[in-house]
Amino acid sequence: MSVGAGLQGRVALVTGAGHGIGRLYALALARQGAHIVVNDLDVQACAAVVAEIRACAGNAVEFAGDVARAEDARGMVAAARDSFGRIDIVICNAGFVRDRAFHNMSLDDLDQVLNVHLRGTAYVTHAAWPHLRAQRYGRVVFTTSSAGLWGNFGQANYSAAKLGIVGLMHTLDLEGAPRGICVNTVAPFVMTRMGEGIFPEHLRPHMGGESVVALVSYLCSERCAVSGEIFEVGAGRIRRVRMLAGEGVLPGAACTPDDVAGCMDRLLMQPTTKGFADVWAAFRDFMSHCETGSGQAVKEKW
């Protein structure tokens, strides 16, 4: 196997790695010299990917388990440490869809998607986090979706989970930075089993996943110099996505609904160009017209 800069000897846990883009992540990182824990619910698929990696002289072990079970999440991380002595990289990729318009969606549809995507991402990362902090090094890649970033009819459960992952990423970026942990999020456009029937068929030749794998390989490597970023990626294109704010308007503390109505058009026409490092930077900017230092005072209480 060829050795990729910054991945040789590193230990990576890839969830949902039995099929689709997760399988491609596992194979690519193994080709670049990383040791892999292959996770999936599908026992046979796990074993097949491990066999593929070993057939190319790579190192891998399997852990068939459910990311939505905290016990299984801890087991995946333990498998990495038991087999390879450490864990350096976590790719949270496991997921599925259960699409229905919100008025037809059962609470079970909602809970199951939230459990796997949002709680599963949190459980796996939470299990690995103490080890990443202790060694003062880690690379974590979350999987969001453009459905979470922009919305998609019939995917209220999936969209909510996927945007929740972005919020988790922003905070872990702040908490991980002093310990050398980079946390980023990708929204892939790739034709996998989940993409069947969603993406136009004529785009299939462009959506094999190569650019997605290249980006994630970089984000997992020692060369990665970014954290707290969201990337849409696929079909040979990568673009950065940010949450941005406008300047705002000042109808006054004693404003009426009529005052709000009167300034709504102006508010919606403002460009949204402001980004902030954290909630307190946003708060201080928002409150700047009050000339108060309360944002910093509140922060010091945390």
Query: Which positions ≥6 away from 89 have C-beta within 8 Å?
Result: 10, 11, 12, 13, 29, 34, 138, 139, 140, 141, 220
Beta-bridge partners for 274: 245
User: How remote is the C-alpha of 69 from its chain's centroid?
Assistant: 18
Active site residue 158: yes
Q: What is the spatial distance between Cα 239 and Cα 215, in angstroms, rounded to a whole number?
A: 11
Give me the helix-helix angle, 20-31 and 210-219, nearest 10°.
Answer: 60
Residues facing residue 11 across a β-bridge: 35
The catalytic position among 25, 123, 158, 218 is 158
Map residue 187 onto helix, strand or coil. strand
Distance of CA 290 to the CA centre of its chain: 36
Start-end of H helices in the chain: 20-31, 43-55, 70-84, 107-114, 120-135, 146-150, 156-176, 210-219, 257-269, 279-286, 294-299
The closest of 91, 80, 102 to 35, measured between CA atoms, is 80
**Are the beta carbons of 31 and 219 closer than 8 angstroms?**
no
DSSP 128-151: HHHHHHHHT-EEEEEE--HHHHH-
Active-site residues, by number, are: 158
